[in-house]
């Protein structure tokens, strides 16, 4: 059973809040037969075109909305429908409203030919301008969404979800069979498969999407929540009886005597908390998935969230998803760059979590561009136009760690460490064995305390004595520290942050003048 545009608005928006923005469709050249098709479509669908636009309240938040009506000539987009979409997008941009779009369409309206086909360009252009102005654009794909609609405004969302079981693709199965004389493979152009393939962020019915959209728009608004911040800071750090600042100030001296090799071994304990443990203590979390370009890496976590009321984009290594040689590949780094793009476009801080045994070493990783992606991540972070925080949570091995390191502020857990290779690898290079790993770990200055002294790390968040022994307390302590850093960065002008970041990495490793 297909959901009509009006039914969608009824389920998505607060009751009685929808206000139409639609004016009579612009007149287009039409044959007698096409005029009759339009007349019948209007009677069948109860709408004057294949698109409805307007505004309403989504859990009290004012939003602009666009939805296709499949009952009107299969939701196809011609000149009039495209003009209605573009006018609505431009109005949303002018008003500074977030935009929620829900396509369902067979694609371009064949009766209008090529001129209808190229309308997708102006729609995509309007959406790009809306996003460039710093306004959120959320997409909910309904059954079916095909052709040029999916290939333009249906694929440009900051986040994109789809109706369960929805047919979504480029060339429809019926057209494919007519052209090639065989059936298109089953299960490919289905929402669930696109989610698993990293094309969209999830598959949800409309009522659940309403809740997710509300959370996402709250975070994407970029406005801190002072109530959540107060509640978060008031919560006691169990077992310490001290504030995050107090425990932070005593950490370095207390842990300076821990040998580097001990920190390495501690960081590898199976029970050590990772990024997922941190995210259990944030609010309004919206999990994201994939690059949006058909790649997904299950060794990372990507989300929108609030840390004690501070909104941000979160990306990081998932220690629970790394097994043996299955570590982060090029897709993970392309997902990282998607996080960077969302954060920069919407002026949101970016939080990066480092906890990796290293980037993948495989034929596939090399051929799919792992190394160039590391370089692009580093370059993007150094120049990113939004506040950034990097967290050295556990192991920090090689280029996979370095790719997420450059930031305005770098925090480290007591037993977090950073090295070009694991100590065993460094020992194999220098001594042709692994027995000298403890010696190399000490000599290379990989500990959090050493990194703090060298200016690589700005702040150490303590473990008492080991995060694996106090996973909940440590996670809450780290979340509180991140929230404090986010608040501090948000208070600084962006040009000052950029200049400071440039100076930081330009002077790194040089003696104090």
pLDDT tens readout for residues 419-437? 999 999 899 999 999 999 9
Mean pLDDT value across residues 27-47: 95
pLDDT at 363: 79
Mean pLDDT value across residues 113-125: 95
Confidence of residue 298 (pLDDT cuts 50, 70, 90): confident
pLDDT at 324: 62
| DSSP secondary structure letter of residue 25 | P
pLDDT at 325: 62
pLDDT at 233: 44
For residue 236, how many other CB atoms are within 10 A of its CB? 11
- Reading the block at residue 37, the tokens are 């098709």
Confidence of residue 305 (pLDDT cuts 50, 70, 90): very high
Confidence of residue 232 (pLDDT cuts 50, 70, 90): low
Q: What is the mean pLDDT of the chain?
A: 91
**pLDDT above 60 (res 231):** no
Mean pLDDT value across residues 236-255: 40
- pTM of the model as a whole: 0.91
**pLDDT above 80 (res 24):** yes
d(CA 183, CA 173): 7
Confidence of residue 237 (pLDDT cuts 50, 70, 90): very low
Mean pLDDT value across residues 342-355: 97
**pLDDT above 80 (res 106):** yes
pLDDT at 513: 64
d(CA 392, CA 405): 8
Q: Which of 80-89, 105-114, 252-261, 343-352 has the lowest mean pLDDT?
A: 252-261
pLDDT at 252: 47
Confidence of residue 322 (pLDDT cuts 50, 70, 90): confident
Q: Please give the angle made by the CA atoms of 142, 144 and 149, to the nearest 5 degrees.
A: 85
pLDDT at 118: 95
Only one residue has tokens 């480029």, namely 170
pLDDT at 311: 97
Contact 382, 406 (CB under 8 A): yes
Q: Which of 90, 97, 94, 91 is nearest to 125 (CA)?
A: 90
Mean pLDDT value across residues 264-268: 95
d(CA 496, CA 330): 32
d(CA 507, CA 505): 5
d(CA 66, CA 141): 12
pLDDT at 342: 97
Torsions phi, psi for 61 (to 5 deg):
-95, 130
Q: For residue 14, give every residue at least 6 positions away whose Cβ sits within 8 Å of its Cβ, in sequence order, or none.
A: 56, 57, 58, 59, 60
pLDDT at 255: 52
pLDDT at 127: 97
For residues 41 and 186, which has the higher predicted lDDT (pLDDT)? 41
């Amino acid at each position: 059973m297909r959901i009509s545009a009006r039914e969608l608005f009824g389920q998505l928006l607060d009751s009685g809040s929808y206000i139409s923005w639609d004016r009579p469709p612009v007149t287009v050249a039409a044959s007698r037969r096409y005029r009759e098709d339009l007349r019948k479509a209007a009677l069948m669908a109860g709408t004057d075109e294949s698109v409805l636009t307007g505004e309403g309240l989504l859990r009290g938040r004012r939003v602009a909305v666009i939805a296709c009506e499949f009952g009107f000539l299969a939701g196809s987009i011609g000149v009039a429908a495209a003009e209605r979409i573009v006018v609505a997008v431009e109005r949303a941009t002018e008003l500074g409203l977030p935009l929620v779009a829900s396509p369902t369409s067979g694609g371009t309206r064949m009766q209008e030919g090529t001129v209808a086909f190229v309308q997708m360009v102006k729609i995509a252009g309007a959406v790009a301008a809306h996003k460039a102005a710093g306004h959120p654009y959320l997409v909910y794909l309904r059954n079916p969404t095909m052709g040029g609609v999916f290939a333009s405004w249906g694929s440009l969302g900051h986040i994109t979800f789809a109706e369960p079981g929805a047919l979504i693709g480029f060339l429809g199965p019926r057209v494919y069979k007519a052209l090639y004389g065989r059936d298109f493979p089953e299960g490919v152009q289905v929402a669930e498969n696109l989610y698993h393939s990293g094309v969209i962020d999830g598959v949800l019915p409309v009522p659940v999407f309403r809740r997710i959209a509300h959370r996402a728009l709250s975070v994407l608004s970029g406005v801190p929540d002072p109530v959540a911040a107060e509640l978060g800071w008031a919560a006691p750090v169990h077992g310490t009886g001290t504030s995050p600042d107090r425990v932070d100030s005593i950490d370095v001296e207390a842990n300076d005597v821990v040998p580097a090799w001990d920190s390495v071994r501690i960081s590898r304990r199976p029970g050590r908390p990772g990024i997922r443990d941190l995210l259990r203590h944030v609010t309004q979390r919206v999990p994201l998935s994939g690059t949006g370009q058909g790649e997904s890496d299950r060794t990372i976590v990507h989300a929108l969230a609030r840390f004690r009321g501070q909104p941000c984009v979160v990306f990081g290594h998932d220690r629970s998803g790394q097994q043996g040689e299955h570590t982060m590949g090029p897709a993970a780094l392309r997902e990282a760059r998607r996080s960077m793009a969302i954060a920069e476009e919407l002026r949101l801080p970016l939080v990066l979590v480092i906890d990796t045994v290293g980037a993948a070493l495989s034929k596939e990783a090399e051929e799919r561009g792992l190394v160039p992606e590391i370089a692009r991540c580093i370059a993007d972070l150094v120049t990113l136009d939004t506040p950034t925080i990097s967290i050295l949570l556990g192991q920090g091995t090689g280029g996979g760690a370095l790719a997420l390191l450059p930031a305005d502020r770098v925090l480290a857990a007591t037993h977090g460490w950073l090295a070009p290779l694991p100590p065993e690898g460094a020992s194999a290079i220098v001594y042709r064995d692994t027995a000298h790993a403890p010696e190399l770990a000490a000599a290379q200055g990989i500990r959090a305390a050493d990194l703090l002294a060298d200016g690589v790390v700005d702040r150490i968040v303590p473990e008492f004595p080991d995060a694996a022994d106090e996973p909940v307390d440590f996670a809450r302590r780290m979340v509180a520290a991140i929230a404090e850093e986010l608040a501090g960065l948000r208070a600084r002008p962006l040009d000052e942050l950029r200049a400071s970041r440039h100076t930081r990495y330009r002077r790194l490793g040089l003696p104090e003048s």
